[in-house]
Amino acid sequence: MDEKLRCEVATYIWIEEHCPDIPIPKLHAFGFTDGRQFTQHDQASLLARFCRYIRRQVHRLFGLSLLSNYHPSSCPPTSKVGHMLLEYIRPDVGQMLSTTWESFKDEPQRSRRLFKAISRLILSLARVPQARIGSWRFNPDDCTISLTNRPLMVSTMTFEHSGTPRIIQQDQTYCCTDSFVADTLTLYDEHMRHNPHAVADEEDAYERMAMRTLLRAVSHHFLMRELRQGPFILQFTDLHQSNIFVDNDWNITYLVDLEWICALPAEMLSVPYWLTGCSVDEIVGEQYELYDATRQTFLSIMDEERTAKQKELTLILRNSWESKGVWFWASLKSLNAWHFLFQDHILPKFFANNQAIALLKPASNLWQENAEAMAKQKAKDEEEYREELERNCSVK
């Protein structure tokens, strides 16, 4: 809980400081589960505010961690519950995009305004290059923020909460894309091992083990050598219709839920998949053509919005599409669509045969030692999972 909260608080502070053009609600106060609470420094005395201003300038001058405008609250904690007190977003200012999405998603003018606003958000975050892969963290001891937390994504937290062993430690950041990719692939491997509902049967277990092996084997094809050491860029990893607030014309008025913003390899950036109204694993056939057309429109708008220095960013987005890298990176973020992405998009880059998975199934033996025992165990786990599910449903 505190890790997620520290990252979200730090991200709010960083955006307020470096991206004032990104509309976010004002963060008034926050507190952690250990009882420590913090409030904005504009509530302090004039002398305290002046001293804080001087300290902030010293931090800037000597390249120290950014000193925030928040200080420990003198009020005793009412409860040890993690919390954030944010500015209230009035209904006349904006409503969640999800409330009007189905009604207006096919309207060209509204869509263009939305594409323009989202491209500006992406470009604004990417404007300041980062030296490492990770997430911003608020440090309660000195009220600073630093890029010293592991890259916190939805998949990481979801897997760990469901019982997957922690692979990437909280204070682990990366200066090289290769090691980040290797650890992320290992995280997904461990999730498959520990998730009782990971496969449908023994045959499916062999196929998925083969796919995990092959995904790691082809990963180097999608890493840009010239960007392995960075610079890395801040990205939205969970931007969707319910954390975007818009007015009636679909101009973005506010963004919320910033905890999943991370500094990641530039190749990991992509045009949001939900802009065509489908999930990432549904982008096949006609939906693929529709998404491709939407993607091209979005990138044309981004070209209009970007600065000359950001030309490389749209080039990376286009190259990633041509190389199929966009699907590889999506497989490192998706909770449960990685195998569809591998079968539908990544494997066809190397094999034209529709039966390639069946032909390559022996690769499952390279996923781990004694793969046969693992396949049998995963099939048994699935049977027990279904039996428990049936028992729980019958009780209800």
Q: Please indicate, yes or no, if residue 363 is contained in any of the structural domains.
A: yes
Q: Please indicate, yes or no, if residue 347 is contained in any of the structural domains.
A: no
- Model pLDDT, residue 44: 64
- Kindly give the interhelix angle for 108-126 and 286-305, rounded to the nearest 10 degrees: 60
Q: Which residues of 284-320 are buried (b: 16+ CB within 10 A; e: fewer)?
A: eeeeeeebeebbebbbebbeebbeeebeebbebbeeb
Name the H helices within 242-344.
Answer: 286-305, 311-323, 325-331, 338-341
Q: Please indicate, yes or no, if residue 150 is contained in any of the structural domains.
A: no
Tally of structural domains, the chain = 1
Round to whole Å and give the CA distance between 220 and 204. Answer: 26
Round to whole Å and give the CA distance between 322 and 324. Answer: 6
DSSP 68: P
Q: Please indicate, yes or no, if residue 181 is contained in any of the structural domains.
A: yes
- Model pLDDT, residue 248: 95
CA-CA distances (angstroms) from residue 249 to 110, 112, 252, 311, 347?
6, 10, 9, 29, 41
Q: Please indicate, yes or no, if residue 191 is contained in any of the structural domains.
A: yes
Q: Please indicate, yes or no, if residue 374 is contained in any of the structural domains.
A: yes
pTM over 0.85: yes
Q: For residue 371, what are the domain limits? A: 176-223+354-394
- Model pLDDT, residue 390: 86
pLDDT in tens, 149-172: 999 999 999 999 999 999 999 999
User: Tokens 């405008």 appear where?
Assistant: 69
Integer-rounded Cα radius of gyration of the chain: 23
pLDDT in tens, 20-51: 999 999 999 999 998 899 988 776 666 666 77
Q: Please indicate, yes or no, if residue 247 is contained in any of the structural domains.
A: no
- Model pLDDT, residue 159: 96
- Model pLDDT, residue 1: 76
Over the chain (396 residues), what is each successive 10-residue block's mean pLDDT? 93 95 95 89 68 76 81 75 92 94 93 96 95 96 94 95 95 97 98 94 94 96 93 95 96 95 97 93 95 96 84 92 97 94 93 74 91 94 90 74
Q: Please indicate, yes or no, if residue 334 is contained in any of the structural domains.
A: no
Total Cβ atoms within 10 A of residue 238: 15
